[in-house]
Amino acid sequence: MKRIALILVGTLIVVALAGTLLLRFGLGASPGALFDVAGGMGAKLGCSGRYISGLSPAQMAADLESYSAAYGLVSITNIDNEGRVEARLPPGAVHSATFRAGIGCTLDIGDTSALESINVPKPIQASTTRATGELNTLLETQLATDNIEGRQTRALLVMHNNVIVGEANASGFDSTTPHLGWSMGKSLIAILLGRLEQQGKLDTQATALFPEWQDERQNISVADLLHMTSGLKFDEIYLPGSDATRMLFNEYSAAAVARDQPQVHKPGSHFAYSSGTTNLLSRLLFERVGGSPAAAYSFLYSALLNPLGLAHTIVESDPSGVFVGSSYVYASARDWAAMGNLLGNNGVHNNKRLLKADWIRRATAPNSSSNEPRYGYQLWLNSGSNELRWPDLPIDAYAMRGNRAQVVMVIPSRRAVFVRLGWSAEPYPINKHFAALLEALPIQAPQALTLETASENNS
């Protein structure tokens, strides 16, 4: 009788969990897909939150439940002596993820042995000049106001003329805390591809990108993928069983989900935001730098992290060792600002050119689509149509953006970079808040960046 009772209790819990998830995500999803998403997301974010960002179990649980109360039914166990996190769903389904230094957390799916042999270089930390004063006070006030209003802002930072002029962090976070950027990672992947072009190893107009594309997909170029105008079908909806959730939480190869999609629009003609597209770019990068996880991480550090001094940045991979550039990049506010500043400084850092000036021009120019031209190379543009995206900001503004209102705003004409990191379930007033910060900066006459004169051959 006791065994029967336990089975009945377990069955009721499963039914309750499935019912809660179905109500949250829609009745079209199967219970298996629901459990896969809840378990995979719980394990992956739980692992990274603990071992990269240093979040407490309570904070991690709250972050997950901000997506759905159903995550309160997922039991997350931290196995610290193994650097592993398990997410359990009654009556016994288990998903897990493992942390590796310099690599971050990877879901335990299939053969991950190639990740064990990676020797990640020691990052070189940049010396950061930081000023204090009225702007610092303004940011602290804004952060406090944000959190009183329930926006869960965790870091605010302003860089002006290559100097951090204001910085504020919420309780429990500091200037070294790596924050999940979600889709801001897309911009990092674009920058890495720009580094490949700077080194003469990539042509942005190249086509015939993957051997699996023996049909009309041969006509898709690197630029089409960067612009999100590839024409490939991809379900950028976060429902159980969709392309996006399978790719992030349940597949050995994230890129394969998008690679195997059919083409539904002519390349360059139609903008469709697709995290799968970015992971195709991650796969292309992987192949161009050597075709192994070790080679990919070596390039990441030598081409970007060490030149910029990004000592608090982690780029995570899928179980096959390819970067999940669409979503899994953790970086401190200062590191995110340094990436934005590289773009705003026309591709030059410390008088050394890392990105071609022409690449910056193309990366920040509108795309050729008929429906949404205000998107560059994995960057959201203010201009490009009859309506500015942020009407109170300069026309040349552009941004990295990610879920939960992660933003790095770059304004080249004012030599300014604004960073906002947090966990907002609701939209964040980017236009209003960043316009107020811009007003607080000294006004300077428009000028060509002196860094623009750095040699194009300086890599």
What CATH code is carried by the domain that includes residue 382? 3.40.710.10
pLDDT-derived band at 238 (thresholds 50, 70, 90) equals confident
351 in the same domain as 236: yes
| pLDDT tens sequence across 116-150 | 989 898 888 876 666 667 799 999 999 999 999 99
| pLDDT tens sequence across 59-101 | 999 999 999 888 888 999 999 999 999 999 876 689 999 999 9
151 in the same domain as 22: no
Q: What is the mean pLDDT of the chain?
A: 89
Report how many domains make up the chain: 2
In a domain, 309, yes or no: yes
235 in the same domain as 321: yes
Q: Which domain holds residue 144?
A: 134-453
- Say yes or no to pLDDT of 24 above 80: no
pLDDT at 91: 62
pTM over 0.75: yes
176 in the same domain as 79: no
- Say yes or no to pLDDT of 45 above 70: yes
247 in the same domain as 295: yes
| pLDDT tens sequence across 414-454 | 999 999 999 999 999 999 999 999 999 988 644 433 333 34
274 in the same domain as 361: yes
217 in the same domain as 87: no
353 in the same domain as 271: yes
Side chain identity at 64, as an amino acid letter?
L
179 in the same domain as 47: no
pLDDT at 232: 98
87 in the same domain as 173: no
| pLDDT tens sequence across 357-394 | 999 999 999 999 999 999 999 999 999 999 999 999 99
Q: Let me know: does 384 contact 229? Beta carbons within 8 Å.
A: no
pLDDT at 264: 98
